[in-house]
Structure 1
């Protein structure tokens, strides 16, 4: 699209202010509201800056923003899918696109990875809860796994990771030998450094056990789109369920999450006389266009090729940034397969002011603090980050 983000914000601000004038609001309140709205729109522009690399919050792309606007005007609810057949088609289009990429057969939209992890472990408990109450996940798993186990009354045991934050397979095998778990949560894209657990090795340990394998790919799931990915549909397909957050890497607004699984989810047992169809026994209740239309408009317009082009650019920028740092005396950087760069600066070099601006963030690797740059969207540029670091080199 030719319209810039600044133009879009200016146009939206004018439209909102014009609309507010139709309400019975005194002039002082109207002015205050207008100023607050302009401040919010301005603050949101930081995600479009070429040096925004501190967190997994890329700018929402224009296609998704348009889809979100349509969703707000639609307001359909797929709990009454017979009333919104066009929305049911949109949902089918999304999962026809993504399920094959993840080697899964079915799926539903969620409000994000935290909901996906909870829903997946709920399904796991219903299937294998009679055998065990234990869940294994790495010590780098997302905090939502802790919450999910707490909610479901499951016993979570953390498996140590190696220096690259990947689950220690020998430690997992030992734990499984001591007690077969109800479920294992493997991570495809750790939040701190973007590392990927060895899915093949995890699956081999539980190949013949009554155990559910869930892959938390909230961050790294975008790798399923690219042909050179370390994760393929065959690897993802070994799992009973996979969750993915397009809002973390594909420029989608929140809420936007996908949970995919091998077996269809049964209908709920609770009575729903007011509905024509009994809903599935999944975590989301009412849901509709708000979870679907932004992503649908994106994939229907860009297609796999367009998304891959964006992802390749993001990963290339991450590699260039890490490569540059490794050429500088006293600097050391490592880039993950998912485009997170963790780096050390020379002693006495303090990047606190860059942390405060959201340009970088801090995390921990092998017990040591390191700086972190997340290449979550195509607007983040290595040359701009290098310019910000120039005074410290």
Structure 2
């Protein structure tokens, strides 16, 4: 845990202790509760460890944590934007920053990628649902796509992926000829291995179709911040909608999600007489600083240059780790543009490291592999290599 995080934890413990002293709780009960708080704070330290690479649960940036505290003290609700003009301005600042990076024109905050995928497919159904109920996505797409289709009564067909876990463009094209879809979901940053579907090639298929193109960039969307990225605003701009989760890659606390669109979303057609202005016809209802302030403080503090520097450092750590694995006799690693490294460990069982969250396991082409996710700015390749030393 960093010095700043230690300081924040100490302040938090002191504030909770003071609050408990103002209650009627018995001293023994207070001590038991404080021990539980200590346990929670101790468990939180794992995300700041240099050898934490099992999942997309990052160490929260200190300024973002302070933004979350600020949000809890503010408690504004942008269903009544006239009462909270400062929050409305902050929301505008966030999308003025991110929409150009994704080639989109407008957006709204969400509670994460699952909500973003559901909302995007709902918008797609409203526009193209009379033509078809079919949705195509890669067999590497996030399971939230299947959930969204189930909830919306849509017919999801998964398209096989190629050897790099990208959607097979020829198979997708054949499927579209056989059954034109209502929507196609491209994945920018597959959850298992971090690969990128070819958005430009998918767009070529959809040009002659009444079809919505959604990009699930919940993980890989951070590449839009890097000038030398394999993904650009021009590529993302081919899509009708793009979702992105800053809590997966930018050190933000959950929930933190963005859903961006090519076209403005209309106001809700339903009665909202208790509000002075009708909200947009989107999935989120009440929301405020909890979805805005941590991210806003981060982009105001670091800017695009600072965020890009952090991202490039993480990607470099991932490259170093993949290179080391491939130098070991009998070992194999597959890197990715987004900092996920999948690898095999011959005659070695790394279950103990998986249980600690150092690595995780997934499947590629039906084979079990280990997975290192360089999501947190604290993760270091040399620390992971040190953990592997007994197995080499």
> TM-score, normalising length from structure 1?
0.98
Any runs of at least 4 consecutive aligned residues in structure 1 with deviations exceeding 6 A, and if so which? Answer: none
Q: CA deviation at 1:10?
A: 2.8
Q: Distance in 2 between matches of 1:368 and 1:11?
A: 47
Summarize deviations over 1:315-355 as a string: whole Å, max 9, x none.
00000011111111111111100000000112x21111100
Q: Secondary structure at the match of 1:136?
A: strand
Q: Secondary structure at the match of 1:253?
A: coil
1:216-365 paired onto structure 2 within 5 Å: 216-346=216-346, 348-365=347-364
Partner residue, 1:27: 27
Q: CA deviation at 1:27?
A: 1.4
Q: What's the secondary structure of 1:79's corresponding residue?
A: coil
What is the match of residue 3 of structure 1? 3
Q: Does 1:387 align with 2:383?
A: no
**8 Å Cα contact 1:189/1:217 also seen in 2:** yes
Matches within 5 A, 1:28-177: 28-177=28-177
Contact 2:47–2:376 (8 Å) recurs in 1: no
State the Cα deviation string for residues 155-203 of structure 1 (Å, max 9, x = none): 0010010121100111100000001100000000000000000111101
Q: How many residues align?
A: 392
Q: In 1, Cα distance between the equivalents of 2:292 and 2:191?
A: 25
In structure 2, C-alpha distance between the alignment counterparts of 1:10 and 1:73, rounded to whole Å: 19
Aligned counterparts of 2:63 and 2:375: Cα–Cα separation in 1: 17
3-state DSSP of counterpart to 1:4 = helix
Deviations 1:192-236 (A, max 9, x none): 000000111101011121000000000000000001111100000
Check the 8 A contact 1:164/1:365 in 2, yes or no: no
* Cα distance in 1 for residues equivalent to 2:381 and 2:8: 25
Work out the CA distance in 1 between the residues paired with 2:210 and 2:164: 29
CA RMSD of aligned residues (A): 1.1
Distance 1:122 1:331 in 2: 44
Q: How far, CA to CA, are the matches of 2:370 and 2:201 in structure 1?
A: 30
Q: Could you give the per-residue CA deviations for residues 61-104 of structure 1, whole angstroms, max 9, x where no partner exists? A: 00100100000000101110000000000000000000000000
Aligned to 1:371: 370
Distance, in Å, in 2 between the alignment partners of 1:73 and 1:224 is: 32
Q: Distance in 2 between matches of 1:142 and 1:70?
A: 32
Q: Which runs of 5+ in 1 are unaligned?
A: none
Q: Which moved more, 1:122-131 or 1:9-18?
A: 9-18
Distance in structure 2 (CA, Å) of the matches to 1:5 and 1:89: 29
Q: Distance in 2 between matches of 1:7 and 1:84?
A: 31
Which secondary structure does the structure 2 equivalent of 1:30 belong to?
helix
SS of equivalent to 1:320: helix
